[in-house]
Structure 1
């Protein structure tokens, strides 16, 4: 790598580190602005399990119903050909998170149907990374299966969405309806 390319790369990583340090990827992405969407749940205390399939670019099921206080274990499987995300949040949280996901594409972390896990683990400064390891979210390559266990403590406009650039806009989100 030439010195100029290294300096450009270092500057880009510094900008990303600052953006991530400003409230990304921690405690449910940190964009709730005081909205209570819930909290991580205990799998051994889950009230029920919902299987979620991610396709290119939709979820099955397209919406879910929950009771306030209910703990749900989501078993999420990526059946698409692209990297997809299952993220629980508000529309505002998703909008803010989409900017972070765009940076993950720009820095080569998300590469169509592949994740560069080495880049995800790289220290972006001040101990921040692009690990995408928040309790309300999973980012999966095609064929991967992971769980999200979530306790829905609040009411409001909550949805699950894929924030990989363009996926939300293509309709890859679903409603969480409180009953």
Structure 2
């Protein structure tokens, strides 16, 4: 029979294995993070509860875009750039974070440095939301994500908090030549 401590340890190990497989130096075929000073334009994206406005965005390959993310909803939301497969994988990680108690409806809790006897901070991995193609925005807050798009492709911007993508919190991002 599993104790609560064993279940927490199992959840941590699952997230840790996902983090290790993703690697510390994430690379993306569709581009890379950039500084806001490199942006050639800014696009405001308003997050409502289970919606994005605009619902579709068009950018050019080679363009650096500063996304200004305004959460006008009552819940925590995420802005994540990727394709459908990347979002499906990230949704599993977000579910684990929610089940561990780290992800709440309105924010993120910091995990203790000694959760279940493991020092995640010293390991450099663990339960963190630090992918460069993604940002969490608390209710009433504004955040930014700046990205340089490297090639023409079809992507999505999505909120991968459990249930949000399925409720329609996803938009189309077209990168053209």
Pick the TM interval, shorter chain. Answer: 0.7 to 0.9
Q: CA deviation at 1:13?
A: 1.9
Paired position in structure 2 for 1:20: 19
Q: Distance in 1 between matches of 2:26 and 2:112?
A: 18
- Is 1:101–1:164's contact at 8 Å kept on the other side of the alignment? yes
8 Å contact 1:24–1:100 — kept in the other structure?
Answer: no
> How do 1:127-166 residues align onto structure 2 when only pairs under 5 Å count?
127-166=124-163
- How many equivalent pairs are there? 170
User: What are the ranges of 5 or more consecutive residues in structure 2 without an aligned counterpart?
Assistant: 114-118
The answer on 1:119 being equivalent to 2:111 is: yes
- TM-score, normalised with respect to structure 2: 0.85
Runs of 5+ unmatched residues, structure 1: none
Q: Is the 8 A contact 1:54 1:80 kept in 2?
A: yes
How far 1:111 sits from its partner (Å)? Answer: 1.2
TM-score w.r.t. the length of structure 1 is 0.85
Residue by residue over 1:98-137, the C-alpha shift from the partner in whole angstroms, topping out at 9 and shown as x without a partner, is 1101111111111112321x12877177320322122211
Over the aligned positions, Cα root-mean-square deviation in angstroms equals 2.3
Q: Paired residue for 2:5?
A: 6
Deviation at 1:38, TM superposition (A): 1.0
Give, in angstroms, the shift of residue 82 of structure 1. 1.0
Question: 1-side partners of 2:147 and 2:137: how far apart?
Answer: 18
Cα 1:72–1:27 change in 2 (3 A) is same
